[in-house]
Amino acid sequence: MRGGCAAAAVAVPWLALLALARQPPEKPSAAPHLTRRPFLVAWNVPTQDCKPRFQVSFDFSIFDLDASPNEGFVGQNLTIFYKERLGLYPYYTPQGVAVNGGVPQNSSLSEHLARLQEGIEKYIRSSTKEGLAVIDWEEWRPVWARNWKPKDIYREASQGLVIQRHPTWPPEKVNKQAAFEFESAAQEFMVKTLRKAKSFRPKQLWGFYLFPDCYNHDYSKNKESYTGQCPDVEKSRNDQLKWLWKESMALYPSIYLDALLDSTPNSRKFVRARVMEAMRISQKHHDDYSLPVFVYTRPTYIRKLNVLSQADLISTIGESAALGAAGAILWGDAVDTRNRELCQLMKNYLEGDLGRYVVNVTTAAELCSTTLCQGRGRCLRQDSHADVFLHLNSTNFQLRRRDADHSEGPLFWAEGQLSSADILFLRTHFHCHCYQGWQGSGCQTRAGPRSHAPGPLAPLGLGVLLLLASWC
C-alpha cells in the first residue's frame, strides 16, 4: 500500500496507537450494492458506436458496471434519467420558451407523477433488479438563491406569477413570496418524484446527479490562494435540503475537472472538498445508516479532450476511494467518441493508465476491507486531509494482462500479497466504516437483529497491480 509520493510506508508507532483509539463514523454505511465490493468503478461513456462505425472495440471487464447514457439503451445496471426521460419536468429552453409550465409551481405535479411509470418501466424493465438510478435535472436548483445567471429566468418567472396576482405589491414582498412558492413547489416536485420512483423500482439506488454541490469553483480567480473549501453559506444551503437527503437512496456529486486544474495541486483540493461535503451530508439524514456516495468523474477534462493525467486519476478516483465513497462513475458524452481518433484515444487510455489505476484502487480497497474490516466495512482515512491512498505497493504486487496463456478473466489483474508493513500502513492511516449490521474497530460484532449487512467478502486471491509509474 502506498500514500502520496512515499515509496514505502514508514511505521510510526504512536500513529498506530492513535488509529486504534480513533472512533469510526457514528452511523454505519449502507451495505455495498450490486457487486458487494467496497469501491466500485462504472464506465458510462457512449463508446458503443466505436466498433460499428470505426472498428474500434472495447474491453470493459475491469469495470464493475458498464452502461451507455445514450437513448435506446434499457435494462442497464446504471440508468440516467435526463429531463425528457422521466415525467413532465418543468423548465425553460435556451430561447426562453416554457416547457411543462417552466417553473415547478406552474406545472401539473399530478400529470407529471402519472407519466413517471412510463419512463421508469421503459428504462428499468425489472422491478426486482438492483442498480443505480440517477435523475439528471440541471435546469433549475431547488434553493432559490442558487438560481443565478443563466438561471435567473426561474426567479424572474416566479416573480412574474406573483405580480400577476398581486400587481401592487412592492418588489421585496414579491420576491419573498416568489421564493417561497418556488422552493415549496420544487421540494414537493422532487420529493414526490423520488417516492414514486422508489415505489416502482425499490431495488434501485435513486438520487439526483450533482447533489450535493459545493460551489468551490473559484480556482480560476485565486490560483495561488485557492483552498478548495466549500463556502460556509453553501454548506448551510445544503443543510436546507434535508428533505432531499432524507428521500434519496444515494448521493451523486460531481468531481469533473476543468482543464485549468490539469495536474495542479488545486485539482486535489477541489475534489477533496466536494467528496468530503458529500460524505458529511451522507451521515446526517438517515437514522440507521449513512447514504452511499457515488462520485461522477470523467476520463477527460471539461472542454478539453485530453485524458486525465496520472496525477489527476489519483486526485479523482483515488481521493474518492480513500475518503470512503462507495464508487466512481466515469461519464462521457457523444463528443468523446465522435470520430475514430477519439475512440482510439479512449481505448488506449482504458487499456493503459486508466485501466491499471482502476484495478489498483479497487483491489487495494477490497484488500483493505478484508484485512481490516473482515469484508464487513470499507476503509476510510484517519485524517481526511492526509495524502494517503488505497494504493498497492509495487514491491509486493505485480500487474498481469490477459494474453494467449491467460485468455479468460479480466483485461488486467494483479498478483501478490500484503506484507506486514503494508498491513501496518493500513492500520495506521485508515479505519473501518462498518456496513449496517456490524460494529467494532474491525466490524467483528453484529450490531443487532436489524442487520442488512452481507457476509464477509471472500478472501482475495493473490491479486493487484504493478504500478509502472510513480503515483505522485
How far apart, in whole angstroms, are the C-alpha atoms of residue 391 and residue 359? 10
Q: Is residue 165 part of a domain?
A: yes
Q: Is residue 54 part of a domain?
A: yes
Q: Which residues pair with 434 in a beta bridge?
A: 377
Task: Cite the DSSP H helix spans in 86-170.
Answer: 109-123, 152-165
* Same domain as 287, residue 367: no
Q: Which amino acid is at 264?
A: T
* Same domain as 270, residue 308: yes
* Same domain as 243, residue 99: yes
Q: Is residue 345 part of a domain?
A: no
Q: Is residue 24 part of a domain?
A: no
Q: Is residue 373 part of a domain?
A: yes
Q: Is residue 223 part of a domain?
A: yes
- How far does Cα 298 stand from its chain's mean position? 11
CATH number at residue 65: 3.20.20.70
- Quote the strand ranges of 72-160, DSSP E: 78-82, 91-92, 98-99, 131-136
How far apart, in whole angstroms, are the C-alpha atoms of residue 96 and residue 142? 19
* Same domain as 56, residue 116: yes
Listed residues 284, 311, 339: the one ending a domain: 339
Handedness of CA 116, 118, 121, 127 (dihedral sign): positive
Mean pLDDT per 10-residue segment, the chain (472 residues): 42 42 66 91 95 95 93 93 98 98 99 97 96 98 97 99 98 99 99 98 98 96 94 98 98 98 98 99 92 98 94 99 98 94 96 96 97 98 97 92 73 91 98 96 85 45 35 40
124, 128, 155: which is closest to 139 by C-alpha?
Answer: 155
Q: Is residue 469 part of a domain?
A: no
SS3 category, 467: coil
What's the count of helices (H) and strands (E) in the chain, helices before strands?
13, 17
How far apart, in whole angstroms, are the C-alpha atoms of residue 443 and residue 287? 19
Residue-level pLDDT at 287 = 85
Total domains, the chain:
2
Residue 459's φ and ψ, nearest 5 degrees, are -55, 140
Residue-level pLDDT at 316 = 99
Place of cell 446526517: 284
Q: Is residue 17 part of a domain?
A: no
Residue-level pLDDT at 457 = 47
Place of cell 462505425: 53
* Same domain as 375, residue 261: no
How far apart, in whole angstroms, are the C-alpha atoms of residue 407 and residue 424? 36
- Tell me if 244 sits within 8 A of 208, measured CB to CB: yes
- Quote the strand ranges of 175-243, DSSP E: 204-208
How far apart, in whole angstroms, are the C-alpha atoms of residue 230 and residue 275? 10
User: Angle formed by the axes of helices 420-429 and 13-21, to 10°?
Assistant: 50
Residue-level pLDDT at 9 = 37
Residue-level pLDDT at 407 = 64
**Beta-strand relationship, 204-208 and 131-136:** parallel
Structural domain span for residue 261: 40-339
Q: Residue 462 CB: number of other CB atoms within 10 A?
A: 11
* Same domain as 322, residue 406: no
* Same domain as 300, residue 358: no
- Quote the strand ranges of 232-303, DSSP E: 294-297, 300-301
Give me the active site residues, please. 138
* Same domain as 275, residue 178: yes
Q: Which residues pair with 446 in a beta bridge?
A: 438
* Same domain as 132, residue 278: yes
Looking at the whole model, is its pTM more than 0.85? yes
Q: Which residues pair with 136 in a beta bridge?
A: 82
Buried b (16+ CB within 10 A) or exposed e, 244-265: bbebbbbbbbbbbbbebbbebe
Q: How far from 305 is each of 49, 273, 295, 301, 428, CA to CA, in Å? A: 18, 25, 20, 6, 39
* Same domain as 430, residue 299: no
* Same domain as 198, residue 297: yes
State the Cα angle at 460 between 458 and 466, rounded to 5°.
160
* Same domain as 378, residue 331: no
